[in-house]
Amino acid sequence: MDKEYIHPSAKIYGNSTIGKESVIMENCIIGYPEHNILKEIIAKGIIAEEYDFAGSNIGNNAMIRAGTTIFSNVVTGNRFMTGHNAMIRENTEFGEHVLVGTNTIIDGNCKIGSNVSIQGNVYIPTHVTIENNVFIGPCSCLTNDRYPVRGEYVPMGPTIREGASIGGNATIVPGVEIGEGAMVAAGALVTKDVPDWKMAIGCPAKTKDLPEKMKIANQI
C-alpha cells in the first residue's frame, strides 16, 4: 500500500491530513471541530464537513481503529495507533510510535512524546505532559484538579518523565511528577512526586528503592 486507506464510513473534518500508508477504519471521526469551532458552525448553519477550519494531522503508517474520535488541532507523528473507541481531544501533540488503547480518553491540551504505550481504559485529563518511552497500564487515572468544583478551576495535570512505567489501576493526583525511569505499582494512589528511578507503591503510595534489575530502559 503506497497511500492511505479511509473506510467509507469514516468522517474527515476540516483541513485534516492523513499520512501515507495510514489506515482509518469504520466509524472513525478525524478532525472533529472543537467547541468554539462547533459553535461557529451551528451559528452559521453550515454543514460541518464543508466548513474550512484546521483539522487533525495524522502521520504516516498510522492505524486508527474503529470508533476512534480525534478532534481538531491534534498532531501525531508516524506509526500512531489507536485501539477501538479511543477519544483524543483538541490541542494534543504526539511524537512517533505511540499507542492509545481501546476506550482511552485524552481530554486535550496534552503533550505526549515518542515510543509511548497507553493501554486500554486510561483517562488522561488536560494539561498533562508525558515524555518519551513511557508505559501507562490499563485503567490508570491521571487527574488535574485537586479540589473539584470547590473553587476556581486551574488545571494542573501530572508530568510523567522519560522511561517511567505506570501500573494498571494507578491513580495520580494533580501536579505530581513521576521521575525519569520511575515505576508506579498497580493500584497505587500517588499523591507526591516520585524521584527518578524509584518505585511508588500502596495507597497512599510510599516511595521505595527500585530493585536493581528494574533499573533498565523500557522496551516499547
The pLDDT score that the predictor gives to residue 54 is 86
Half-sphere exposure of 13 (CA within 13 A, CB side): 23
pLDDT in tens, 106-163: 999 999 999 999 999 999 999 999 999 999 999 999 999 999 999 888 999 999 999 9
Cell of residue 196, nine digits = 527518578
What's the CA dihedral at 208, 216, 102, 174 to 10 degrees?
40
71-91-155 Cα angle (round to 5): 115
For 202, the enclosing helix (H) or strand (E) is strand 198-202
CATH homologous superfamily, domain 5-214:
Hexapeptide repeat proteins (2.160.10.10)
For 75, the enclosing helix (H) or strand (E) is strand 74-75
Task: Give the mean model confidence (pLDDT) for residues 194-206.
Answer: 98
> Would you say residue 1 has pLDDT above 60?
no
Q: What are the domain boundaries of the chain?
A: 5-214
pLDDT in tens, 20-45: 999 999 999 999 998 888 888 788 78
The pLDDT score that the predictor gives to residue 47 is 73
Structure letter (DSSP) for residue 194: B
**Mean pLDDT of all residues in the chain?**
95
Put simply, whether the predicted model's pTM sits higher than 0.85 gets the answer: yes
Burial of 50 (0-12, 13-18, 19+ CB in 10 A): exposed
Yes or no: say if 143 and 125 are a contact pair by the CB < 8 Å rule. yes
Spatial separation of the C-alpha atoms in residues 53 and 65, rounded to whole Å: 24
